[in-house]
Structure 1
Amino acid sequence: MTQLKITGMTCDSCATHVKEALENVPGVQAAEVSYAKGSARLTIEAGTSPDALIAAVAGLGYRAALADAPAAPVPGGLLDRVKEWVGGGDNKAGHIGDGMHIAVIGSGGAAMAAALKAVEQGARVTLIERGTIGGTCVNVGCVPSKIMIRAAHIAHLRRESPFDGGMPPTPPTIQRERLLAQQQARVDELRHAKYEGILESTPAITVLHGEARFQDGRHITVRMSNGGERVVAFDRCLIATGASPAIPPIPGLKDAPYWTSTEALANDTLPERLAVIGSSVVALELAQAFARLGSQVTILARSTLFFREDPAIGEAITAAFRAEGIEVLDHTQASQVAYADGEFVLTTEHREVRADQLLVATGRAPNTRSLNLEVAGVEVNAQGAIVIDRGMRTSAPHIYAAGDCTDQPQFVYVAAAAGTRAAINMTGGDVALDLTAMPAVVFTDPQVATVGYSEAEAHHDGIETDSRLLTLDNVPRALANFDTRGFIKLVADAGSGRLIGVQAVAPGAGELIQTAALAIRSRMTVQELADQLFPYLTMVEGLKLAAQTFNKDVKQLSCCAG
């Protein structure tokens, strides 16, 4: 008879789940588990590994140890790992999170950042993932989309560039299946290096593959992907389940084989005609990429492109797209979608749009519906996003949330920063996430980059502004590139002259916006920005020139006037 001491069980139901888990361990003939005594009595076959017994209990979120002193374990073995989780290790002394068990639902940017910080703080973590490890960004979002966009950019330059007069173009042959294989290989490489490999090499993190659902405010039921259920008891929990494409209720759409961004990025074909419903980041990045790879693209925008941003942004991108042959239909909605004989027919108030494939990219909805949040006391807003404060705390004690499943901006770097801060707060800290100087980039060409206030947002908050817009034909780098599409706009507080916002449409705008973010964070005035040294013939020099326009006519300055 073998006996385990078990801590962390809070009810007889916990004991039932522990009994089931132990009896599923090879070599266990019978198990009697008592919540009241905090113990388990096992009838096992000779040679049954005690490591496996303890691991089965730890996988449910409880702590276990052999009642009698075991033989010295093999260093680095599973028993060593579990002993460390229950406080047997001496390398985490002094951490507030020592001995704390944190459940993390999800495995994307927010989840991974939180799990690793929690371990650093001395906690042990059970990470629950229902799909592919790594979440949206590395698997079906940022990484594959930017690879495809880069390939499309190179295809575009081979077909057309400002230097065609002296370097005749050679239109490329696009082999989408090979590009896709290259794209997926890099995705797999990064997922293993940045997610799977790290989890495998971090003993204090246990990974459960399955669907999580709250049982109450202290327990999660996990329907395991390989069958059966486990109950995870936690001291703290982080919800980081991300978001999925939101599908508008257009009649006929659900019966048609449309693409979301996920299918578009994973498909090895290039449709001859592609219709895109959407007018913001994902829709426009992919629309331009497909157009540059050879598809004839039509965009249906309910209002205008980037209608939530400064109007100059949408105007500039619309002009750039139309110059490339992309059809942009402003103020156009599909009232009906039909699909027959391999063709989509979209009925709009103006005319029919026909296409071989349809991409729907109208935003992303939080993945919260299946979590049973109400029993845990976690509140969501009308869109289903979890409501959190600046410390990532939800309405429920001991439960935090971060990333795209919350009401935070849906950017992976925001999610990761939120996850790290949530872990600090879950283990006794008190830190906040300040988004007042959050940069954002859209990887169209030209790129769109913003930080801080737009004029409209500042006026909404009662701030009187003074703004300047500098077109790129005033920026030496753009002139040298023979590409002057776009602008840089600075928004200043009229009273103090302090920089409070920047909007840029430019090739490489994403590389200059962080300088603007640091200037805003440092509370610089536009004059202080104008007085800084910027290297000549860089796009970021455009920030200095834009700042100089508050007091000078930059057309009357020499090339690199200070």
Structure 2
Amino acid sequence: MQEVTFEITGMTCDHCAASIEKRFAEVDGMIGKRVSYQEGQGHFTFDPSKLSKETIINTINKGNYRAVGEVESTNRSASSNQYDLIIIGGGSAAFSAAIQANELKLNTLLINGGLPLGGTCVNVGCVPSKHLIRAAEQVHRAAHSPFRGIAGAMPVLDYQTIIRQKKELVSELQQKKYGDIAKRLEFVKVLKGWATFLDPKTVQVGEQNYTAIKFLIATGATTNIPDIEGLEEVGYLTNESLFEQEVQPQSLTIFGAGYIALEIAQAFHRLGSKVRIIHRSERILRSQMADLTDELTHYLQEEGIEIITNVKVDKVERSDSDIQIFGKDADGKTVQFTENGQLAVATGIRPNTFQLGIENTGLELDKKGFIKVDIRQQTNVPHIYAAGDCADTPAFVYTAAKEGKHAVSNAFTGQVMEADYSSLSWVVFTDPQVAGAGMDESEAEAKEIPFETTSLPLSEVPRSQAALDTRGFIKLIRNPETDQLLGARILAPEGGELVTALSLAIKYKIPVSELADHLHPYLTLSEGIKLAAITFEKDVAELSCCAG
């Protein structure tokens, strides 16, 4: 026999409580039940060999009633290894889920192995990379002045101190945003260790087994290491190790040309490293259109970054103090490069679904190993959910957080909460930045949606003219039949600050004509949105500065 108490929301009178009790009249294994509208709780005594808490919750969760969390279980001791929810992971998705579970008063176990609490973003991803990007930008701006009356000067650079300040920032945020918050989560226990599924409802950590009604896998992703002969023997860096070493690489060859590779390349070049990019595809940022990638390539090369595309590296070997890199070009000819510094790998990500015992769960994975989920973050195994970079959804820290919260709500409240990615905005933190929202013209064409585009060079934006920095453009894609904005692509210094407004315009179907007519402050970069919208109908070169 076991007793359990749930808080129940949605009751408005004693009749509601009686209605919930009646639902259990014929439920096998239910020994006793008492639901109180005044207390807002339901108390149940049951035979756990015949009836599960999950069935009790599902029986309550009909109509407007919700069992929002377990309050008390008289047969569960403090050392019990049975939980309402087990979260595997310690990053953005996991913590968002833990906070939501705590609000629902779910007895929750969060199991984290690998990186410290906070996962990739705060420890080895977003926070350290953006810190170094800003530091590098400071160096670059000091040395390169576009104003005739201001001479550029190379500042004194202490790389070790930069990295140590980065480490202090990471440590501070890791503690403040994760460690301290974990201590305040009354219903969440944090366990350090690697979780392995023994079966769909049991995980093992060390010598202990843990069971739960529901599971959330939020284990994130890590760098995908390509199959290159000699790579392990020669040695290589990833974002995890590159951001940690306190000795600056004098020379660096980066495999890959996605957003992580480009951000690393420009930051370290501006800090003084000699940087080369080798990429197997025809263009950098290969998922984006050529107008954007070609112009960004020009700016990066203009700064002095060597970019080599259409080369598949198949072998590396050490020769004295150098590293020899061998590959094939687009014609199949052998090419060779010499690197007298270090190698860095930034060739995409792979999900952290290894060492989880996934084969013991029956979970479906896609061809790259990501966990397949539906709009509720639910897998093909109904009581297992997945969120964040380990799932087959967009891999961003902010999408991961939303997915983690939604997964817990969907699993325990009976609500259907889903993320809408049709207007999703994103940023690549190069300089100029690359930003986008919604679809581009190739995606509109694939979906057979009528579209037209306009592209406004920043040379037509007063803010950019005044700053003497007209690199880039603002491109809008609209449906000419409805005047609805379908998508946007931006290449601009601080272009990421524009993209949320365009994402909202897509989401809430604001006509492009409204963007063109809206009052934007003069001499702001956001005025470029207005001017780009105007160019669907007019030539902005024929307008005065503030004309609409």
> Shorter-chain TM-score category?
0.7 to 0.9
Of residues 268, 273, 279, the one that matches 1:290 is 268
Report whether the alignment pairs 1:209 with 2:181: no
- Out of 52, 62, 68, the position equivalent to 1:96 is 68
Structure 1 residue 186, shift from structure 2 partner:
0.6
Instruction: Look up the match of 1:372.
Output: 357
2:120 is the counterpart of 1:120: no
Q: Give the whole-Å Cα distance in 1 for the aligned partners of 2:338 and 2:499.
A: 37
Query: Secondary structure of the equivalent of 2:391?
Result: coil
Give the aligned partner of residue 490 of structure 1.
476
Q: Secondary structure at 1:299's aligned position in 2?
A: strand
Query: Quick one: which of 166, 174, 190 aligns to 2:157?
Result: 174
Determine if the alignment matches structure 1 residue 472 to structure 2 residue 436.
no
Residues 86 and 111, structure 2, Cα contact 8 Å, conserved in 1: yes
Q: 1:406 aligns with which of 388, 391, 411?
A: 391
* CA distance, structure 2, for counterparts of residue 558 and residue 269 of structure 1: 52
Q: Tell me what 2:121 maps to.
A: 137
TM-score (norm 2): 0.83
User: Residue by residue, what CA displacement relative to the aligned partner does 1:211-248 show, whole Å, maximum 9, x if unpaired?
Assistant: 0011112111112xxxxx21111011100000010011
Q: 1:450 aligns with which of 432, 436, 442?
A: 436
Aligned-pair distance for 1:351? 3.8
Listed as ranges, the matches of 1:1-400 within 5 Å are 95-99=67-71, 101-131=84-114, 132-163=116-147, 165-223=148-206, 229-303=207-281, 304-348=283-327, 349-400=334-385
- Listed one character per residue, the Cα deviations across residues 479-505 of structure 1 (whole Å, up to 9, x for unaligned) are 111111111100011321210100000
Q: Is the 8 A contact 2:373 2:379 kept in 1?
A: yes
Identity in percent: 41
For the residues of structure 2 that align with 1:330 and 1:540, how far apart are their CA atoms?
A: 34
Whether the aligned pair in 1 keeps the contact of 2:227 and 2:314 (CA below 8 Å) is no
One-letter amino acid matched to 1:235: I
- Matched AA of 2:301: R
Deviation at 1:330, TM superposition (A): 2.1
Deviations 1:385-406 (A, max 9, x none): 0000111000101110000001
Contact 1:95 1:122 in 2 (8 A): no
Structure 1 CA distance for aligned equivalents of residues 521 and 403 of structure 2: 34
> Per the alignment, do residues 379 and 7 of structure 1 end up closer, same or farther by CA in structure 2, a change over 3 Å counting?
farther
Deviations 1:491-538 (A, max 9, x none): 011321210100000001110000000110111221121111111111
Q: CA deviation at 1:170?
A: 1.7
Does the residue aligned with 1:445 lie in a helix, a strand or coil?
coil
Quote the residue 1:36 is aligned against. Answer: none
Counterpart contact for 2:204–2:210, Cα < 8 Å: yes
Code of the aligned partner of 2:69: G
Aligned length: 468
Alignment partner of 1:432 is 2:450: no
CA shift for structure 1 position 95 = 4.7
Does the Cα contact within 8 Å between 2:88 and 2:111 map onto a contact in 1? yes
Q: Verify the 8 A CA contact 1:306 1:313 in the aligned structure 2.
A: no
* Aligned residues of 2:145 and 2:151 also touching (Cα < 8 A): no
Partners in 2 of 1:500 and 1:195 — Cα distance?
37
Q: Shift of the alpha carbon at 1:413? A: 0.2
Q: Is the 8 A contact 2:256 2:278 kept in 1?
A: yes
Cα separation, 2, equivalents of 1:524 and 1:203 = 43
Once the two structures are superposed, the pairs formed by residues 508-523 of structure 1 within 5 Å of their partners are 508-523=494-509
The whole-number CA distance in structure 1 between the counterparts of 2:102 and 2:150 is: 56
Instruction: Check the 8 A contact 1:213/1:371 in 2, yes or no.
Output: yes
Displacement after TM superposition at 1:417 (Å): 0.5
2: distance between equivalents of 1:7 and 1:334? Answer: 62
Instruction: Work out the CA distance in 1 between the residues paired with 2:245 and 2:473.
Output: 35
Cα distance in 2 between the residues matched to 1:242 and 1:400? 13
**5+ residue gaps in structure 1?**
9-92, 224-228
**TM-score, normalised to structure 1's length?**
0.81
Q: Structure 1 residues 6, 313: closer, same or farther in 2, change over 3 A?
A: same
